């Protein structure tokens, strides 16, 4: 039992008990003397004891710090008195406060555990901390455009695509494309919604739109998502959104933004897996840059185009600055081939259908993807660590040339020269950036000149060539151009469409290098000829227009102008003269290596060339790439 101390009075139990003991002794002695008749003695015997009892009962309880300073009276108390006290003095010294009247007794004060001799003192527990305050995440929709001033609605903001998985089927009779495209991306902001470019609509001629491709389902990370479509007319002169009051015609198709609203907000850094299921007939493009898209053929389709093509057949972040790896799985009637990018992973026939699986293991810009369907003559072989896969449309062997050979024969011969071309270009540009190479020689789409594709295109690892690339007097020049793009345009892509000279100027310069290698004009002679008459026209106005175009900023309508190609190549030859061969080819190889698999800008190239040359080349490039006039050679 523990004694207590009254907080208000300082009263403690032990003085009272001591006083009672003395009183009992005094009364006992007095009683004994009275029985013996000694009344006066009893009075004298009892009085001092009663006085001591009174004094003892009035002593204030000492604190624990005063325990060793008790009055000598207490210290000299006889053994008899001590034996009469029921509560030890040690208990009194450690007395606890008494509870308030009617209240519960307080919990006893904790007694520290004994600390062994020589042991460190225990560390006190830290005071509890307040729980952290959680700030709500502010989810916002991604931008409906990646930020390219030339084509503001191309690409999208808020995420970076890492992989496209296309699982599609194509029916040549109906031209219906169906299946699911799964887009895997990483969020670059906190997203409440985001866009994909998907040109599913065509104008109906009366201000409305027809859904040529119908979306049946969209999931985000396996959960159903809601979505909406917003369509914008595009100028057929500039390739930009049609402004109010413009007299420009409209391009086909308009640009359609697919807005995906996930079931919950997506945090920055999270992986987004968007699966879009759809079916329909893709709209073929007719815009400022010519025909493009999914071209229907008698036995399949040719997929080719630039700058817009991808969004007509799969939902995408359709801009070259957002590159990704690709898996393209296409089901077609058995007997037809599918030619895609990269390596043919499998070809699986099952009754009337065959599934072709193409894998592009290195990042690729969306416009470079193809899944061309048809009956093709295939040749393939491995050489120098590169797998070559070439396809020639059988109709080209029926297209005869002067001298008795056919377009198909010429195409086959030039395709056989691809290893030599790649080996030669590797000497100037560094190692070939891919493990696969080849080409697709396509047939004309019809009997008229308008049915011939007006360009070749550098589709990654498998460029596409029209019939005119393989005429009777054709050499490998066009193939050299498109294979050079595998370094400059495919492996190193442009960050913005204004940087396209980094693609076309370099590929044109590769043609000059090849011509010299083949015994033709030197690169300097090619430069001088272009400087004297860049367009080959007798009209001075044509040359004036050429020099007025800045290769590094040609305007949205001018991305394929001659100056982008020829003046771009002239810039490189002048750079070679400026810094010397050693530094020049070091620049080309280092640039291709440093930015392999990515995208880059003109400003980055200028800075890189300056660092390698050891001098500031800013003014030099300003003159050749940006001034809208003919540079002086002085």
Nearest to 372 by CA among 384, 395, 390: 390
Band (439; pLDDT cuts 50, 70, 90): very high
Between CA 337 and CA 172 the distance in angstroms is 12
Alpha-carbon distances, residue 605 vs 166, 519, 587, 591, 612 (angstroms) = 34, 30, 9, 7, 11
Instruction: Starting at the earlier edge strand, list the strands of the sheet with 140-141.
Output: 140-141, 191-197, 255-261, 226-232
Contacting residues for 422 by C-beta, under 8 A, at least 6 apart: 384, 386, 432, 437, 483
Band (27; pLDDT cuts 50, 70, 90): low
* pLDDT value for 136: 86
Assess whether pLDDT exceeds 70 at residue 367: yes
Q: For residue 594, how many other CB atoms are within 10 A of its CB?
A: 12
Assess whether pLDDT exceeds 70 at residue 516: yes
3-state secondary structure of 443: coil
* pLDDT value for 570: 98
3-state secondary structure of 105: coil
* pLDDT value for 120: 52
* pLDDT value for 467: 97
Assess whether pLDDT exceeds 90 at residue 575: yes
Average confidence (pLDDT) over 524-552: 97
Assess whether pLDDT exceeds 50 at residue 594: yes
Nearest to 161 by CA among 44, 271, 15, 51: 271
Exposure letters 378-404 (e unless 16+ CB within 10 A, then b):
eeeeeeeebbbbbbbbebbbebebeee
DSSP notation for 502-566: HHHHHHHHHHHHHHHHTTS--HHHHHHHHHH-SS--S-HHHHHHHHHS-TT---GGGTTSHIIII
Assess whether pLDDT exceeds 90 at residue 103: no
Asked if residues 567 and 546 have their Cβ atoms less than 8 Å apart, the reply is: yes
Helix or strand (DSSP H, E) at 216: strand 213-220
Between CA 190 and CA 184 the distance in angstroms is 16
- Kind of pairing, strands 140-141 and 191-197? parallel
Q: For residue 528, how many other CB atoms are within 10 A of its CB?
A: 14
Nearest to 303 by CA among 248, 374, 232, 406: 374
pLDDT in tens, 283-305: 999 999 999 999 999 999 999 99
Q: Which residue has the tokens 């959104």?
A: 241
Alpha-carbon distances, residue 33 vs 56, 477, 532 (angstroms) = 24, 146, 152
Nearest to 21 by CA among 59, 47, 56: 56
List the single range of 8-17, 59-68, 353-362 with lowest mean pLDDT: 59-68
Average confidence (pLDDT) over 194-207: 95
Between CA 555 and CA 325 the distance in angstroms is 30
* pLDDT value for 562: 97
Average confidence (pLDDT) over 479-500: 98
* pLDDT value for 31: 53
Assess whether pLDDT exceeds 50 at residue 14: no
Between CA 349 and CA 355 the distance in angstroms is 6
Mean pLDDT (the chain) is 86
Assess whether pLDDT exceeds 50 at residue 425: yes
Q: Partners of 292 in the beta sheet?
A: 285
pLDDT in tens, 308-366: 999 999 999 999 999 999 999 999 999 999 999 999 999 999 999 999 999 999 999 99
Average confidence (pLDDT) over 445-469: 96
Band (66; pLDDT cuts 50, 70, 90): very low
Assess whether pLDDT exceeds 60 at residue 7: no
Assess whether pLDDT exceeds 60 at residue 101: no
List the single range of 44-48, 188-192, 264-268 with lowest mean pLDDT: 44-48
**Secondary structure, 3-state, 50-95:** HHHHHHHHCCCCCCHHHHHHCCHHHHCCCHHHHHHCCCCHHHHHCC
User: Over pLDDT 70: what percentage of the chain?
Assistant: 79
**Is the pLDDT higher at 364 or at 51?**
364
Exposure letters 231-253 (e unless 16+ CB within 10 A, then b):
bebbbbbbbbbbeeeeeeeebbb
Band (381; pLDDT cuts 50, 70, 90): very high
* pLDDT value for 21: 53
* pLDDT value for 554: 98
Average confidence (pLDDT) over 125-153: 85
Alpha-carbon distances, residue 563 vs 413, 464, 551, 578 (angstroms) = 31, 23, 6, 21
Give the domains, in start order, of the chain with CATH numbers: 4-97 (no CATH), 143-367 (2.60.40.1730), 376-486 (1.10.390.10), 493-626 (1.10.390.10)
Between CA 478 and CA 491 the distance in angstroms is 19
pTM here is 0.79
| Phi, psi angle pair for 174, to nearest 5° | -95, -15
pLDDT in tens, 221-280: 999 999 999 999 999 999 999 999 999 999 999 999 999 999 999 999 999 999 999 999
């Amino acid at each position: 039992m523990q004694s207590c101390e009254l907080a208000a009075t300082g009263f403690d139990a032990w003085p009272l008990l001591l006083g009672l003991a003395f009183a009992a002794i005094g009364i006992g002695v007095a009683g004994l003397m009275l029985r013996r008749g000694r009344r006066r003695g009893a009075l004298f015997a009892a009085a001092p004891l009663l006085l001591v009892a009174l004094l003892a009962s009035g002593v204030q309880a000492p604190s624990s710090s005063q325990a060793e300073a008790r009055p000598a009276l207490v210290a000299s108390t006889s053994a008899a008195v001590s034996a009469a006290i029921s509560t030890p003095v040690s208990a009194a010294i450690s007395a606890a406060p008494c509870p308030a009247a009617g209240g519960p007794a307080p919990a006893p004060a904790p007694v520290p555990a004994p600390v062994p001799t020589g042991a460190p003192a225990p560390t006190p527990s830290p005071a509890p901390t307040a729980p952290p305050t959680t700030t709500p995440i502010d989810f916002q929709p991604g931008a409906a455009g990646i930020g390219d001033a030339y084509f503001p609605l191309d690409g999208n903001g808020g995420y970076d695509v890492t992989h496209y998985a296309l699982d599609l089927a194509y029916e040549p009779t109906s031209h219906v494309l169906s299946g699911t495209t799964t887009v895997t991306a990483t969020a670059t902001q906190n997203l409440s919604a985001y866009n994909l470019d998907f040109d599913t609509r065509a104008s109906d001629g009366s201000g409305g739109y027809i859904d040529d491709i119908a979306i049946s389902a969209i999931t985000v990370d396996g959960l159903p998502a809601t979505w909406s479509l917003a369509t914008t007319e595009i100028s057929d002169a500039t390739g930009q959104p049609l402004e109010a009051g413009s007299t420009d015609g409209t391009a086909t198709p308009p640009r359609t933004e697919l807005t995906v609203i996930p079931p919950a907000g997506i945090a920055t850094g999270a992986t987004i897996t968007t699966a879009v299921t759809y079916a329909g007939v893709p709209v073929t493009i007719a815009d400022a840059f010519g025909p493009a898209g999914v071209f229907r053929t008698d036995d399949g389709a040719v997929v080719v185009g630039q700058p817009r093509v991808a969004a007509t057949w799969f939902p995408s972040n359709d801009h070259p600055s957002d590159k990704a790896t690709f898996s393209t799985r296409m089901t077609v009637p058995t007997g037809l081939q599918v030619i895609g990018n990269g390596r043919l992973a499998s070809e699986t026939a099952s009754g009337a259908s065959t599934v072709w699986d193409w894998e592009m293991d290195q990042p690729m810009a969306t416009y470079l993807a193809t899944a061309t369907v048809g009956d093709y003559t295939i040749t393939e072989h491995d050489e120098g660590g590169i797998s070559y896969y070439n396809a020639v449309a059988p109709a080209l062997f029926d297209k005869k040339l002067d001298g008795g050979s056919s377009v198909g024969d010429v195409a086959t011969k030039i395709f056989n020269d691809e290893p030599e071309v790649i080996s030669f270009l590797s000497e100037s540009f560094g190692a070939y950036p891919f493990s696969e190479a080849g080409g697709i020689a396509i047939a004309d789409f019809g009997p008229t000149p308008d049915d011939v594709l007006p360009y070749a295109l550098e589709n990654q690892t498998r460029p596409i060539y029209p019939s005119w690339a393989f005429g009777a007097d054709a050499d490998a020049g066009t193939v050299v151009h498109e294979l050079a793009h595998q370094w400059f345009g495919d492996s190193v892509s442009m960050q913005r469409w204004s940087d396209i000279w980094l693609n076309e100027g370099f590929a044109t310069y590769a043609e000059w290098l090849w011509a010299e290698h083949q015994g033709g004009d030197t690169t300097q002679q090619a430069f001088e000829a272009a400087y004297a008459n860049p367009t080959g026209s007798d009209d001075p106005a044509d040359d004036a227009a050429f020099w007025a175009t800045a290769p590094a900023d040609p305007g949205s309508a001018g991305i394929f102008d001659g100056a982008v190609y020829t003046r771009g190549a002239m810039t490189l030859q002048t750079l070679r003269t400026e810094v010397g061969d050693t530094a020049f080819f070091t620049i080309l190889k280092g640039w291709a290596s440093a930015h392999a698999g990515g995208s880059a800008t003109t400003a980055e190239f200028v800075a890189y060339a300056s660092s390698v040359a050891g001098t500031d080349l800013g003014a030099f490039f300003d003159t050749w790439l940006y001034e809208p006039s003919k540079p002086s050679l002085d």
